[in-house]
Every structure is written in C-alpha cells, then in structure tokens.
Amino acid sequence: IFTNAFTIIATCIVMISINPLLAVAALFLLPFLTIQSYRMTPRMWTFYGKRHRASRRLNSQLNDSITGARVVKAFGQQEQELVRLGKGNKGVREAEIDVMRYDNKFTILYSTVENLASFIVWGLGAALILSGTNMEFGMLVTFAGYVSQLQGPLDFMSWVFRWMTDCLNSSQRMFEIIDAVPEISADKKIVTKVSGSIELNNVSFRYTDTM
C-alpha cells in the first residue's frame, strides 16, 4: 500500500509540475473514485460474509457426510445426503457469483476512470497544441505516459478494498470464537481432587423377545 500510494502521489506532483491544467483534467475524478469505493465497501462486506457462511456450511456438511459414511450407508440415506450437499453447493455457487458480480463493478469503475482520464488528456492536449499554446507534442506524450503509470497503482488500490473486506470478514468470525466467554455458573465449585467409586449390583441386559 505504501509503495503504490507513494507512486500515485509522486506521479501527481510531476504531472502538476509539467502542466497544471492537464493534471487537473486527469485527476479530478480521483476523489469521486475514492468516495465511491468507500460507499461500495459495506455492500461488498455483506457479499463476502454470505460467501464465507455458505462455504462453512458446505464444509460442515462434507465433514459430516465423510465421517458418518458408514451410518449413511447403513440407513440407506445416500440420496438424501446428495440432495443436502447439492443445496449447500448451490448456496456456495450463488454466493460466489454475487461476489464476482460485485467485484466486476469495482473493475468497471476503475477501468472507466483510468480510460476516461487518458481520453481527456489526449483530447485536451491536442486542443491545446492546435490552439497555438506552448504545449508541444513531446510534452503531451510524456504527460500521457504519467497518466498510464497511474493505472497499475490504482488497480492495486481497487483490490485493497476487496482484500481488506475479505480479511476483516474472516477475522471477525475468528475473534468471535477467541473472545467468547464460557457460560459458567456464578456459584461454580472448583474440584481439585476427584475420588469415589461406582458400584453396579444386579444389572443385566437382554434384547426384548419379539417372537
């Protein structure tokens, strides 16, 4: 994050020093991009949480099915287990599709801003050259190169919002377990030494005669 943020800041400073007008035209969408990314984060949190819960349910079902395979076969519940696993798998698929669909909105947003900035720079730069100002074609090419240099760090920053949301979503559930307080009665008694014996008298077992 530090490296890419420093690259963005340094590039913006160089662009302003080359031509303030073109710099403003190229960078005026960055505040909008930041605000929009921040506004999209809560909904992305919901989709990532939905995916994690669906994956956790499916993993639990798989664990139960594998460890209890003998019981499932003994009671002839194979078809029912397949139906149950199918529902869990469908939930994971739908949650994953929702995440990818919302991820695509981030990609589209950042790609649109980056391409629009390049288009504005080339269009405005060409207009300045044709109008007879001190803008030269070499300067415009150099400036456009700096605009292109911003694309990599901006793409990285778009992923930072997604990575942060995914990681915080996972860590939240981890800390729910770590911070859980045991439900122990207030009048509990601590037993330091256990002693005694259990005695069984006149105990028997048999199957009921059904004949």
- Residue located via tokens 């007879």: 132
Per-residue pLDDT band at 11 (split at 50, 70, 90): very high
Asked if 6 and 157 touch (Cβ cutoff 8 Å), the reply is no
Q: Report the alpha-carbon distance of residue 118 to residue 149 in Å, rounded.
A: 11
What number is the average pLDDT over the span 99-117? 89
Asked if 110 and 154 touch (Cβ cutoff 8 Å), the reply is yes
> Alpha-carbon torsion 142, 146, 147, 151, what sign?
positive
Q: How many residues does the chain have?
A: 211
Average pLDDT along the chain: 87
Q: Report the alpha-carbon distance of residue 62 to residue 88 in Å, rounded.
A: 9
Q: Which pTM does this prediction carry?
A: 0.68
Beta strand extents in 83-158 (DSSP E only): none
Task: Return the closest-CA partner of residue 22 out of 154, 137, 140.
Answer: 140
Q: What is the pLDDT, as a whole number, of residue 123?
A: 92
Q: Which tens digit of pLDDT belongs to each residue from 113-134?
A: 989 999 999 999 999 888 877 8
CA triple 95-99-100, angle to 5 deg: 115
Q: Report the alpha-carbon distance of residue 103 to residue 91 in Å, rounded.
A: 18
**What are the distances in angstroms from CA 197 to CA 7, 193, 201?**
74, 13, 13
User: Which is more confidently placed, 209 or 162?
Assistant: 162
Per-residue pLDDT band at 71 (split at 50, 70, 90): confident
Task: Return the closest-CA partner of residue 154 out of 23, 17, 44, 5.
Answer: 5
Res. 76: pLDDT tops 70: yes
Name the packing angle between helices 78-130 and 151-178 (round to 10°). Answer: 150
- Residue 105: which H helix or E strand, with range? helix 78-130
